[in-house]
């Protein structure tokens, strides 16, 4: 049982924030075929069921690993919903503790949002009815129980959610699921010698956020995807608890970002490296027409309090080259697969053109992790994670927002970068790290990796009452679980 409270507490008693990952007898081998999650189609009146369960999966040769999943051994199916429809899915829970299904990125009312106030208790069900009204986008879902989100997501309670927009113009992007349109849930994990996943955040791994030394994509260690010799769309989700990725290809090839958290970008952006913080998504188009195999790599995650070189070196990290780059997965070109898309237009049809209007109010959010002092943190107490000086309190509504009013939210993060997330909407980033952000190339977001100070333009189209408020929080899940979170209502 990977995350019963008892085993969790027992595990955190061990001195394992420096996991024993050296001299392992087993070599975690990459190169298995990329798993393509099943689709759970909730479009056109189809209904589905999603049940949280404990299970086991094989990540390592000859070893089974205790896991959790939503109607799957690890993670869950890719859900597909249509704009303009009500998607219906029955949520169940066969695990002996409350879980939830939060629809990360959906513009959905608080009562359907699956936050900490709406747990699914053991052996109960909840009939979710999701009124979908937002642009096509790559979203995700995950458990979101107060104090337990890090453990739940770590052991597998997460999955991808695709919003389709039948009313929008055809984007012309590759869209053959599993062939030239690939979901990629990227996560780092730690396994012990028996094959068990290790989740024991304490001390520095609470402060830095819990990171792993093995990279999984769709639940397989450094897998290999077989792709057609044409343009391929990768829907990247950073489903890690804390690790920030700096994706690039080993041969330095250019690729094109066409989508972000909240939907497509009207103007494709060429790049050679893409940074993705926890919970962020990006859709990129990669050209494989030269037929060459290539590895997708990531640069090292240097996010650390106060420059924290010492603390950084205490974190588990994947085996890397001298620059700190490590392998995420591999691509090989299959000449037996006919490429369906070979050119990309200069602009993307059907991309959202948001109009926020003029802001009427400004709110400030100060993300703090040192409230208890550095030594308090290092002692493993974890006190001090807070927003505006107050740690998350389920009984306190921190903000009250008016439906349909545009606001500027200013987020300050002094000690390290924090991926700040807001429920119930998509926002536009105005500035970050003291630099203005171009809305055409940054698009609609629901997570912003705050670099010192960020400003976002935000507006809500759905309501959330005090019984089922929305959350804003750091998406480093250990920070969130320790209280770097607040809650707010939206009312007309």
**What b-and-e string marks burial along 305-329, b requiring 16 or more CB atoms within 10 Å of the CB?**
beebeebbeebbbbeeeeeebbbbb
Give the DSSP per-residue string, 408-440. Answer: EEEEEEEEEEEEEEETTS-EEEEEETTEE--HH
Query: From Cu ion, ligand C2O, none, which one binds at residue 144 (CB under 5 to 8 Å depending on kind)?
Result: ligand C2O
Size of site (CB under 6 A) for ligand C2O? 10
User: Could you tell me if 214 and 189 are in contact, meaning their C-beta atoms sit under 8 angstroms apart?
Assistant: yes
Residue span 414-433 as binding mask against Cu ion, x where in contact by CB under 5 A, dash where not = ----x----x----------
283, two tokens: 């859709």
- From CA 444, how far away is CA 297, in angstroms rounded? 26
The residue among 212 and 384 lying less far from Cu ion, judged by its C-beta, is: 384
Residue 20, SS3 per DSSP: coil
Q: Which is nearer to ligand C2O, 108 or 221 (CB)?
A: 108
Under rule CB under 6 A, residue 459 binds ligand C2O: no
> Interface with Cu ion by CB under 5 A: which range of 185-193, 242-250, 306-314, 467-475?
467-475
The one of ligand C2O, Cu ion, none whose footprint includes residue 279, by CB under 5 to 8 A per kind, is ligand C2O
Which residues from 393-422 bind ligand C2O, rule CB under 6 A?
421
Sheet containing 39-41: order of strands = 39-41, 78-82, 158-164, 137-142, 102-104
> Using alpha carbons only, how large is the chain's radius of gyration in Å?
21
Cα angle for residues 179, 183, 185 (degrees, 5° grid) = 145
Decide which of ligand C2O, Cu ion, none touches 117; Cβ closer than 5 to 8 Å per partner kind: none
* Interface region with ligand C2O, contact rule CB under 6 A, candidates 80-88, 200-208, 397-405, 471-479: 471-479
Q: Which is nearer to ligand C2O, 176 or 461 (CB)?
A: 461
Query: Taking CB within 5 to 8 Å according to partner kind, which of Cu ion, ligand C2O, none is near residue 473?
Result: ligand C2O
User: For ligand C2O, what does the binding mask look like between residues 86 and 105, x meaning CB under 6 A?
Assistant: ----------------x-x-
> What's the residue count for the chain?
492
Tell me the window of 68-76, 198-206, 304-312, 470-478 that interacts with ligand C2O (CB under 6 A): 470-478
List binders of ligand C2O among 130-149 (CB under 6 A).
142, 144
Helices (runs of H) and strands (runs of E) counted in the chain = 7, 31
Asked if 479 interacts with Cu ion (CB under 5 A), we say yes
Binder of Cu ion out of 101, 216, 476, 485 (CB under 5 A):
476
**Which residues pair with residue 450 across a beta bridge?**
418
Query: φ and ψ at 395, to 5 degrees?
Result: -90, -5
- Shortest distance, CB of residue 102 to ligand C2O, whole angstroms? 5
Q: Is 423 in the site for ligand C2O (CB under 6 A)?
A: yes
CB of 279 to Cu ion, least distance (A): 7
Cα gap 488→363, rounded to integer Å: 12
Long-range contacts of 67-70 (CB under 8 A, 24+ apart): 67/2, 67/155, 67/156, 67/197, 68/2, 68/3, 68/95, 68/152, 68/155, 68/156, 68/157, 69/156, 69/157, 70/101, 70/141, 70/157, 70/158, 70/159
Comparison of 17 and 365: residue with beta carbon closer to ligand C2O: 365
SS3 365: strand
The binder of 233, among ligand C2O, Cu ion, none, by C-beta within 5 to 8 A per type, is none
Binding site for Cu ion (CB under 5 A): 104, 418, 423, 474, 476, 479
Residue ranges binding ligand C2O (CB under 6 A)? 102, 104, 142, 144, 279, 421, 423, 471, 473, 475
């Amino acid at each position: 049982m990977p995350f019963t409270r008892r085993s969790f507490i027992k595990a955190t008693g061990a001195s394992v924030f420096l996991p024993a990952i050296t001299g392992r007898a087993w070599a975690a081998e990459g190169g298995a075929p990329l798993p393509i999650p099943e689709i759970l189609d909730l479009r056109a009146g189809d209904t589905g069921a999603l049940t949280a369960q404990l299970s086991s999966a094989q990540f390592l040769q000859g070893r089974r690993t205790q896991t959790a999943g939503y109607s799957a051994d690890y993670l869950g199916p890719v859900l597909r919903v249509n704009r303009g429809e009500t998607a219906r899915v029955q949520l169940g829970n066969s695990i002996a503790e409350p879980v939830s299904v939060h629809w990360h990125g959906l513009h959905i009312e608080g009562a359907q949002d699956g936050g900490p106030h709406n747990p699914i208790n053991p052996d109960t069900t909840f009939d979710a009815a999701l009124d979908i009204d937002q642009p096509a986008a790559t979203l995700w879902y995950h458990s979101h129980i107060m104090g337990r989100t890090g453990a739940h997501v770590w052991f597998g309670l997460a999955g991808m959610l695709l919003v389709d927009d039948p009313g929008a113009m055809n984007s012309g992007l590759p869209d053959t699921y599993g062939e030239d349109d690939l979901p990629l849930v990227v996560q780092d994990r730690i396994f012990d010698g028996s094959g068990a996943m290790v989740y024991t955040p304490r001390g520095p791994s609470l402060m830095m956020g819990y990171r792993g030394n093995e990279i999984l994509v769709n639940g397989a260690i450094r897998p290999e995807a077989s792709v057609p010799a044409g343009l391929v769309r990768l829907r990247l989700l950073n489903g890690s608890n804390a690790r920030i990725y700096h994706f690039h290809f080993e041969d330095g090839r250019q690729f094109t970002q066409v989508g972000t958290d909240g939907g497509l970008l009207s103007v494709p952006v060429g790049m050679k490296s893409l940074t993705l913080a926890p919970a962020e998504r990006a859709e990129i188009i990669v050209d494989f027409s030269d037929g060459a195999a290539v590895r997708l790599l990531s640069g090292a995650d240097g996010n650390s309090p106060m420059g924290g070189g010492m603390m950084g070196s205490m974190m588990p990290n994947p085996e890397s080259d001298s620059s700190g780059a490590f392998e995420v997965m591999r691509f090989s070109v299959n000449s037996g697969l006919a490429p369906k898309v070979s050119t990309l237009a200069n602009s993307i049809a059907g991309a959202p053109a948001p109009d926020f209007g003029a802001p009427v109010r400004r709110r400030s959010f100060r993300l703090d992790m040192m409230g208890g002092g550095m030594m308090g943190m290092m002692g493993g107490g974890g006190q001090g994670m807070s927003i505006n000086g107050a740690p998350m309190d389920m009984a306190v509504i921190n903000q009250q927002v008016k439906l349909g009013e545009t606001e500027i939210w200013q987020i300050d993060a002094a000690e390290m970068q924090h991926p700040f997330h807001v429920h119930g909407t998509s926002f536009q980033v105005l500035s970050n790290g003291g630099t203005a952000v171009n809305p055409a190339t940054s698009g609609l977001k629901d997570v912003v990796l705050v670099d010192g100070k960020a400003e976002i333009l935000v507006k809500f189209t759905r309501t959330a009452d005090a019984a089922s408020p929305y959350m804003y929080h750091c998406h480093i899940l250990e920070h969130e679980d320790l209280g770097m979170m607040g809650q707010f209502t939206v009312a007309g």
